Amino acid sequence: MPSNELLSSTIAELAPRIRSGEVSPVELTEAALAQAEAMQPSLNTFITLLPEQALEQAREEEAAIARGEYKGALQGIPIGLKDNLATAGIRTTLGTKVLQDFVPDEDAEVAIRCRAAGAIILGKENMEEFAAGATSNNPHFGPVRNPWGTDHIPGGSSGGGGANVAAEVTFASLGTDLGGSVRLPGSFCGVVGLKQTFGRVSQRGLLVTSFNGDHIGPMTRSVADSAIVLQAIAGHDPLDPSSVPVPVSDYSAGLARGVRGLRMGVPSNYYFEDLEPDVEEATLRAIAALEELGAISVPVELPMMKYIGAVRMAAMSDAIVTHEPFLRSNRDDYGPDVLYRTLGGQFVLGHHYSKAMKAQRLIQEDYARVLQDVDFIVTPTTPLCAPRIDAPYIEHLGETHRVRGPGSGLVSRNTSPLNATGHPAITVPSGLNHAGLPIGLQFIAAGFREDLLFQVAASYEGVSPSQGRRPPVLQG
C-alpha cells in the first residue's frame, strides 16, 4: 500500500501543522478512516468503527481551531480506544460474547480527557476476551493480526491498538495493562507502549478491571507522542480511589536531555533469563548504544524476584471475584481459554492470598532499594518475538510453553512484575529478529518519574535500528 504522508507522520509532527491550518482534521480523519477500512480485512483491529461520529468530531475540532480555540497537540488527531474502556452510548463489548450488546451510560475518564483535548475517536479496538491474555486471538470477534507478519499475534490484550498504530490507522491508541497488555503489543508490533505509575491515570470506566495493578496507557509511534498522550490523560481523579494527587510534569520538556551521566541498572537475575538469541543480542546492542550515549551501566540484583510466581495467586483471586456475576449468568458464552484461566481463582485460599501480598511487598522493596542507586533499569520487554496465531504451544529454548490460557506466562514474564510493583515502564522498538519481527526494549523508573522515563526512551529511540522501519503490510 503506498505511503500517505499524513498518516505516516507522528502526532508531534502534525500538531503544529493542524494548529496553523495547514492540515485539516477532517481530511486527516477521512484518511485514517480509509486506512482503517483498507486494513480491517487483513488485520481485524476494530470491533466497532465509528466513521460518522469521528467525522462529526473532526468537523467540530476544525471549526474550533478556526475560531482560535486551540486545545493542544492532540486536537484533530485520530486515536483508538480498546473495547474495555467505557464509551457513553457506544457498544463496549470487552471482546466477549457475554457483553456483546453492552452500551455504557458514561464515558471512561480517559475518554472524557481525550475528547476534551480534541482527539478524534475512530472506534473501539479488538482485544483478548475480557483482556485476559497476551495474544488477542479473540474467539468471538476473530484474531487481531500483526502488521509485521499477519500469521503472527500482535500481542495482547490490547492487540487491536498496537496493530492500528503500527499500520498507520491511528496515531495513538489507549490500551489497558494488567500484566503487559500495552507493552506486549508495543513490543510485538514495533511501537512505543507505556505503562505509567499506578495511580497516575484514572481507572474509572475501565470495565471488569482488577483491583490490583491495572493501568490505562498509550501505544504510539514515538516517545514524543507517548508524552503528549500521557499529558492529556494523567492527573488526579477524585472519583477514582486508586488515583493519586501527585502533580503532573511537562512530559515533553526533557525529551532532548539525553542520558549522559545517568546510572543504568542492568539486572543480573530474572530479566535476562530464557531469552531468544535474537532478543538477547538486540538488548545487548541497545545497552552498548546507551553506554555510547553516556549512560553508566551498573549491575543490579533483584533477589526477591524468585517469588514473583506467588503474586499470581492474588491476580487469580481478583479474576474470580470480578467474573463471578458473569460466570453465574453467562458461563456458556465464555471462550474456553479465558474460562479455564479464570476458574482456577476459586481454589485460592485466604492464606495463599496473604502470602501473595507478602511476596508483592518484598518485590516492591527490592525495586525501591535498587532505584535508590540507579536512575533507571533496562530489560528486554519480552523473552521472545511474536508467536504464530495458530500456535497453541511454542517450543522455547528446548521447553514447551502454552501461548494462551492457564500457564501461559512466558510471553508476559518481563512485563507483569511491574504491574505488581506499580513502577512506570515503557517499551521502545529495538530492532527486528531474523524473521523480520519486532523486538522491544523496556525501561523502568521510580514511581511518578515518567519524565525521566521519556527522557531515557527518547534518547535511545534516536539511535535504535528500528528508526524508519515500516511493517510489510504498508509496503505491499
Please state, in angstroms and rounded to a whole number, the distance separating the CA atoms of residues 410 and 169.
29
Q: DSSP assignment of 152-205, as one string?
A: B---SSSHHHHHHHHTTS-SEEEEEESSSTTHHHHHHHTSEEEE--TTSB--TT
Known catalytic residue at 157: yes
Four-CA torsion 351, 352, 353, 358, nearest 10 degrees: 90
Maximal C-alpha separation, the chain: 63
Please state, in angstroms and rounded to a whole number, the distance separating the CA atoms of residues 315 and 353.
9
Catalytic position from the list 24, 157, 242, 412: 157
Catalytic position from the list 9, 24, 82, 210: 82
CB-based contact 426:369 (threshold 8 Å) = no
Catalytic position from the list 9, 24, 181, 466: 181
Q: How far is CA 207 from its chain centroid?
A: 16
Q: DSSP assignment of 19-82, as one string?
A: HHTSS-HHHHHHHHHHHHHHHHHHH--EEEE-HHHHHHHHHHHHHHHHTT----TTTT-EEEEE
Q: Compute the residue count for the chain.
A: 476
Active-site residue list: 82, 157, 181
